[in-house]
Structure 1
Amino acid sequence: MTTATATQAIAIDAELVRTALASAGAERPVDRLAAALALPSERFVALAAEYFELEPLSMAQLRASSADFGVVSFVDATQRLCATVTAADGRKLAVLTDPLDSRTRAWVAQRLRARRVEAHWALAATDDLRAWLALAEKSLRAMDAVGVAAAGEAANESSALSLSIADISASESPIVRLVDSTIHDALKSEASDIHLETQRTGLVIKYRIDGVLGVVKRVDGIEAAHQVLSRVKVIAELDIAERRVPQDGRFKVAVDGREIDLRVSIMPNLFGEDAVLRILDRQHLSGEARQIRLDNLGFEPAARDFIRHMAALPYGLLLVTGPTGSGKTTTLYAALSEINTGLDKIVTIEDPVEYQVADVLQIPVNEKKGLTFARGLRSILRHDPDKIMVGEIRDPETAQ
């Protein structure tokens, strides 16, 4: 038998696959399978694609395709070694590098279903996909440079952290990429809060969407969890050396041409620290504020009419209570929008001002400068107000 004939006779079978899965250890199963066959990369991809019923994808075909990071982000593609692309013939392809990794395939499938994208499954060599992602990164940086140049003077005036795919991928630090991509993904998911919880085995990342808190990612390793929390502290200008007491801060990010505020609360726990990032998209919310009415919030008629009646009274106290993300602020602004006729002096004190409302005096709390809720409220009472909204009652002094 000639060498060429021997090579052609090599095939993948169930026994080889079982051995690769059983003995992978720290290696990926596909690497063990490739080592067992000892074939050139292109030949191995062709054999594996045939066995697992995938479409083989060469480096030339990858180069001819265009990136689609709307389903699998650049960061996820780099970490998971998979991608979604549009082939030269216009077909959508979900590209894998390890056909034995059922978890990654299931994750990609879920992303495709969530975005209602139909794609053909393909297989590429790991080195080819890495090289293609490196080329894609250069392209992303070039495109983003155009946006940065166009921003010009505005970028110099703003202290907001710029979040774009190119900015995220440009960072050499995996921790910086993780934090920035998490914030970016949460904004795209329209989350109200990001929870970063340090646990015994690492970090759990959760989003609160429509009032419901759910796990979106887990990061193994307690040291990685500490580094993520330190990164958040750096952005929010907090003390990274202090891990024993609560800290509060804030920062801004720039996404898609608008600035978004994030309020940071950090608390110590048994395994390190726990952070909550409240997302305050003021420009988006201010546009919504003009549309908010009590009729649109889903209240029972009796509850809606009671709130409307209480808000219209020239005296009295209306307390709105509830858990995080339940709609307290939205309810208050809906009530304000209904009584805001321009004939009354309406004053609010908030931390921070979440909605911007015309014809309403809105005062942001600034505890570093001594402007607390209690002090601000005392000053408001001397400002001839008709109606006052207090964002939070945090202490007895404010309540009294």
Structure 2
Amino acid sequence: MNDLYDRHRAVTPDWLALYYEDPIEITHGEGRHVWDADGRRYLDFFGGILTTMTAHALPEVTKAVTEQAGRIIHSSTLYLNRPMVELAERVAQLSGIPDARVFFTTSGTEANDTALLLATTYRRANTVLAMRNSYHGRSFSAVGITGNRGWSPTSLSPLQTLYVHGGVRTRGPFAHLSDAEFIAACVEDLRDLLGHTRPPAALIAEPVQGVGGFTSPPDGLYAAFRDVLQEHGILWISDEVQTGWGRTGDHFWGWQAHASSGPPDIVTFAKGIGNGTSIGGVVARAEIMNCLDANSISTFGGTQLTMAAGLANLNYLLEHDLQGNARRVGGLLIERLRAVAAQLPGVREVRGRGLMIGVELTRPGTDQADPQAATAVLEAARRDGLLIGKGGGHNTSALRIAPPLSLTVAEAEEGAAILEGALRAAY
């Protein structure tokens, strides 16, 4: 393994991060488990960064990919593509957006980049509203609207970005307010901001901030924002790269927690739909999607192989009610972790919904982030056979828990017990 690590370091950028002091090579998986090159088995509570949505080596997806690969793998969007049309029909129907059009990409980054292109072109404006503590990808434009210093390597950007309060409920100047007061204060802040600038093209927001540590506003915030945005003709883009497809349990899309004003103008998605294959995409009303006046294609977006995987994966998700499973098993897991957290001075908060759970760590007796403890817990969990993630803004440190949506109650309890041991060792 050290040989592979040395080779990795010799040919990849220094900023290409690896987890663990002694990085592992994952060689295969099955269900909710993966194995490393040394034959050690792990319970996977991170799913390739929320990408293995249903299960590792899901037979239905494996069969669909194998059969499609035996016919044709790729032809580009210059030719009619039956699997792409079939998946687009399903996504359009599930999106809730009237007269929806779907464009497939290869990643969430590219999906958000496309959404920004559409919004700025449609509105003839290059100013974008984004949330503080947000993350939207690693392209030049996506980095330019990312409100998380740890994931924004440059201040240069093709866009002017204005950052809005509200993505983090328990920190910041409005944290002490009730939910209703919090929403009202954030809306007033947005109104004040819009009074000092030319109308932006769009607000882009994650319903639950992923890289930011699985933080979220009170339900209803984005509906309240939408009322203000519509007064100025500003579009609402919901970044569902991590929250889509039922992961939050209560809803199929994260935006539905803010649904009183109807669906967003644009929805972006990726990660889980492909169950590990490279699928991203954008859904928008036809008038917005069709606003481009030049040719555009995607070489690899919508390729037959990934579309076959996405169709099989989506069918499995819906037929087995994995959204309901995320709600039930995720609810039990959150309560189990909250019971543990109540006994540990370094756990500030256990938050989330469904199988998208954040555990924020602070130095005991303070409100200061404890990144050293987060790293220690990550390492200890790995030693005991559990893989988790971490994230947070510059002043937070959170563990990220996002298993495949087919997680069983027994596996949830097993993972919680391992995580409890790792937390107790750290504190």
Give me the TM-score of the superposition, normalised by structure 2.
Answer: 0.21
Q: Please identify which structure carries the higher strand content.
A: 1
Which structure's CA Rg is the greater one? 1
Give me the TM-score of the superposition, normalised by structure 1.
Answer: 0.22
